[in-house]
């Protein structure tokens, strides 16, 4: 009842502040919007009753932090949450994740693996070793074109890097979320998520004040349990993916 009264009050306020024709157009759009959102909700509930879980995540997400900050652990924690939410999704990693569908061994794997509407999760630890900012101009065009179509192909890529700016610029430009990680007393990890565009604008012209005021999408924390730590080999050295048969950037 309180929410309804607040909504009616808001409508009356807008009527007083705006011209009536503009308000009529806005209200018409609002009604159409609500109608289609209800249709979307009905479709989603119908799919849920049928046991169909539509894979929603997409885009490149990057976990950043110095050595020992818990960036890889945070990525695995996030990956575990996705695995539980989307049990039919295929998982491919370059760090021997316990529940992976198969290991990532070649850059071509990023192009060939597909899983329809059930989705795919790629996870790359130390992604700056694969795609360094020092060779941004040589970034493979075939891979870049695939990354730009992740949403259509039901793909999301999780990655980690000690420093965000060490990753190739074409990848940074396609990044959706940047997660800064920090671990306290070896067990308690805190993750701050930023919009990648906002993050880039601050990092490119860094100032402590701008960084402090940078809005966060969300903040989470978790405890590094033994089960979480044992879900991958924390001491295994990450090997670079094979480039064999992979088309390099075309020089024009």
pLDDT band at 144 (very low <50, low <70, confident <90, very high): confident
* Whether 203 and 151 share a structural domain: yes
Q: For residue 252, tell me if it sits in a domain.
A: no
Predicted structure pTM score = 0.80
Structure tokens belonging to residue 96: 């021997």
Q: How many domains does the chain have?
A: 2
Q: For residue 81, tell me if it sits in a domain.
A: yes
Residue 43: CB atoms within 10 A of its CB come to 11
* Whether 42 and 138 share a structural domain: no
Structure tokens belonging to residue 60: 């490149």
What confidence score (pLDDT) does residue 153 get?
A: 85
Per-residue model confidence as pLDDT tens digits over 225-247: 999 999 987 666 666 666 655 55
What confidence score (pLDDT) does residue 252 get?
A: 40
How far from each other are the two terminal CA atoms of the chain, in whole angstroms?
65
**Most confident option among 2-11, 32-41, 143-152, 186-195:** 186-195
CA distances from 137 to 61, 140, 143, 159, 172 (A): 21, 9, 13, 20, 13
The predicted model gives 196-221 an average pLDDT of: 82
* Whether 9 and 72 share a structural domain: no
Q: For residue 243, tell me if it sits in a domain.
A: no
Q: For residue 116, tell me if it sits in a domain.
A: yes
Per-residue model confidence as pLDDT tens digits over 62-101: 999 998 899 999 999 999 999 999 999 999 998 889 999 9
* Whether 130 and 204 share a structural domain: yes
Q: Half-sphere exposure (CA, 13 Å, Cβ side) for 21?
A: 0
* Whether 155 and 63 share a structural domain: yes
Best CA proximity match to 182, nearest among 45, 34, 74, 54: 74
Residues spanned by the domain of 91: 59-229
- Residue 173 near residue 59 (C-beta atoms within 8 A): no
Q: In what order do the strands lie in the sheet with 120-124?
A: 102-103, 90-93, 120-124, 155-161, 59-64, 175-184, 188-195, 218-223
Among 49, 68, 86, where does a domain finish?
49
* Whether 74 and 42 share a structural domain: no
Query: Could you identify the residue written with the tokens 């033994």?
Result: 226
């Amino acid at each position: 009842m309180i929410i309804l009264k607040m909504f009616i009050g808001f409508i009356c306020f807008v009527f007083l502040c705006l011209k009536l024709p503009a308000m009529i157009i806005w209200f018409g759009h609002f009604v159409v919007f609500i109608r289609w959102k209800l249709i979307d909700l009905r479709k989603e509930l119908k799919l849920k009753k049928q046991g169909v879980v539509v894979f929603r995540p997409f885009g490149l997400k990057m976990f950043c932090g110095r050595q020992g900050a818990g960036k890889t652990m945070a990525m695995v924690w996030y990956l575990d949450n996705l695995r539980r939410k989307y049990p039919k999704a295929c998982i491919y990693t370059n760090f021997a994740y316990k529940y992976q569908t198969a290991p990532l061994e070649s850059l071509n794997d990023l192009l060939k693996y597909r899983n329809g509407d059930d989705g795919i999760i790629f996870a790359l630890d130390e992604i700056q070793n694969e795609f360094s900012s020092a060779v941004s101009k040589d970034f493979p065009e075939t891979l870049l074109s695939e990354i730009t179509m992740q949403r259509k192909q039901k793909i999301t890529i999780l990655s980690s890097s000690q420093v965000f700016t060490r990753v190739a610029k074409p990848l940074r430009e396609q990044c959706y979320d940047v997660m800064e990680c920090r671990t306290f007393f070896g067990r308690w990890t805190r993750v701050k998520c930023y919009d990648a565009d906002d993050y880039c604008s601050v990092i490119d012209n860094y100032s402590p004040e701008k960084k402090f005021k940078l809005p966060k999408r969300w903040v989470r924390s978790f405890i590094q349990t033994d089960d979480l730590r044992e879900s991958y080999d924390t001491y295994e050295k990450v090997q670079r993916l094979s480039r064999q048969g992979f088309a390099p950037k075309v020089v024009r």
